[in-house]
């Protein structure tokens, strides 16, 4: 084999190796034993993180995952107390969460792994398929009480909302209610699954959910003539969007960084884009 041919072959092999690493994210360091990463937080992020974790464990069999679906705020608390390796947060971090206001010291680091749409959903038997943002606000305020006012035969309206500490509720109230209070007759549900299951079983119900929880029994409504979807979330045309964050303490361990990088890698983003809007390649903050 000539020296020139050997050099060309080496460059080809090197290029393939670089491409493989780029598609998977930086591989984690080899441990001395099995590793268990504890992820805690948003119920909306659970379906996506289960898929990402399964793919990651398939690549690195010594890494396992444990999940606590406790809501974004509680996930941050568990992280800060040392009871979680990563918090799953389905909203932007607040300034006081990210930095100490007195010293300016960073308290939390994060990376955005997906863009989610908050879908306004009704029972699939309700023929209504579109609302304006103004109509959604009036429904959740309790100003519109019957579906008949919106030319639907679904009877009385039952508003479904989420519990305190839910990032989905925080984003919904910020983007839709704009300082107005959700009606006191709303039923408060403790999780995304509970919202989905109640609406699927009650024809007059209306609520809000992450794109990842859409499925049989419920129907997502177009808002201002735009349906929630991966495409409309990515291009910004759907009005109710929010980021999905993986949040860590500053200077996280290598195994945590490696998983965060995987979620942002082409391989991780291929999983994200099955149901959510993806993000451009880049590092954590």
Where the chain has pLDDT below 50, the residues are 1-23, 283
Does 279 reside within a domain?
no
Q: Are residues 108 and 187 in the same domain?
A: no
pTM (two decimals):
0.85
Asked if residue 193 lies in contact with residue 163, where contact means CB atoms within 8 angstroms, the answer is: no
What is the reported pLDDT for 59? 95
Give 126's Cβ-side CA count (13 Å radius).
32
Is the same domain home to 123 and 227? yes
In a domain, 62, yes or no: yes
The predicted-structure confidence for 219-262, as pLDDT tens digits, reads as follows: 999 999 999 999 999 999 999 999 999 999 999 999 999 999 99
Span 154-170, pLDDT tens digits? 999 999 999 998 999 99
Report the domain count for the chain: 2
Residue 218: its H or E element: strand 218-220
Asked if 135 and 224 sit in the same domain, the reply is yes
Instruction: Tell me: do 173 and 255 sit in the same domain.
Output: no
Q: Are residues 130 and 210 in the same domain?
A: yes
Q: Which of 215, 234, 253 finishes a domain?
A: 234
3-class SS shares of the chain: helix, strand, coil, % to 5: 40, 25, 40
In a domain, 36, yes or no: yes
123 and 225, same domain (yes or no): yes
> Are 7 and 110 in the same domain?
yes
- Report yes or no on 214 lying in a domain: yes
- In a shared domain, residues 132 and 109: no
Range of the domain at 168: 116-234
CA distance 277 to 214: 15
Q: Does residue 110 share a domain with residue 48? A: yes
The reply to whether 277 falls in a domain is: no
Res 285: pLDDT: 65
| CB-CB neighbours of 147 under 10 Å | 21
Q: Is residue 137 domain-shared with residue 91, that is, in the same domain?
A: no
pLDDT score for 33: 74
Position 283 in a domain: no
140-149 long-range CB contacts below 8 Å, 24 or more apart? Answer: 140/176, 140/177, 140/182, 140/183, 140/186, 141/177, 141/180, 141/181, 141/182, 141/183, 142/183, 142/184, 142/185, 147/204
- 225 lies in the same domain as 120: yes
Does any domain span residue 284? Answer: no
For residue 248, the domain's CATH number is 3.40.190.10
Pair 56, 63: CB distance under 8 Å = yes
Residue 100 resides in a domain? yes
For 9-23, letters b (16+ CB in 10 Å) and e give eeeeeeeeeeeeeee
Same domain, yes or no: 89 and 136: no
């Amino acid at each position: 084999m000539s020296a020139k041919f050997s050099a060309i072959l080496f460059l080809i092999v090197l290029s393939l190796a670089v491409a493989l690493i780029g598609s998977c994210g930086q591989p984690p360091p080899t441990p001395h034993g099995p590793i268990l990463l504890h992820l805690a937080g948003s119920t909306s992020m659970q379906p996506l993180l289960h898929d990402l974790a399964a793919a990651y464990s398939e690549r690195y069999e010594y890494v396992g995952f444990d999940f606590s679906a406790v809501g974004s705020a509680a996930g941050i608390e568990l992280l800060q107390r040392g009871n979680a390796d990563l918090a799953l947060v389905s909203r932007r971090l607040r300034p006081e969460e990210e930095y100490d206001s007195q010293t300016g010291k960073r308290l939390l680091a994060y990376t955005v792994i997906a863009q989610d749409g908050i879908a306004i959903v009704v029972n699939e038997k309700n023929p209504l398929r579109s609302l304006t943002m103004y109509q959604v606000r009036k429904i959740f305020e309790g100003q519109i009480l019957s579906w008949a006012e919106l030319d639907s035969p679904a009877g009385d309206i039952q508003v479904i909302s989420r519990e305190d500490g839910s990032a989905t509720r925080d984003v919904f109230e910020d983007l839709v209610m704009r300082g107005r209070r959700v009606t006191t007759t709303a039923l408060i549900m403790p999780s995304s699954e509970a919202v989905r299951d109640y609406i699927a079983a009650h024809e007059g119900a209306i609520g809000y959910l992450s794109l990842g929880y859409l499925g049989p029994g419920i129907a997502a409504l177009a808002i201002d003539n735009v349906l929630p979807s991966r495409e409309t979330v990515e291009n910004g045309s759907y009005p109710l969007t929010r980021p999905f964050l993986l949040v860590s303490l500053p200077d996280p361990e290598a195994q945590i960084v490696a998983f965060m990088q995987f979620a942002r890698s082409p391989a991780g983003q291929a999983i994200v884009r099955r149901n959510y809007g993806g993000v451009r390649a880049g590092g954590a903050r």
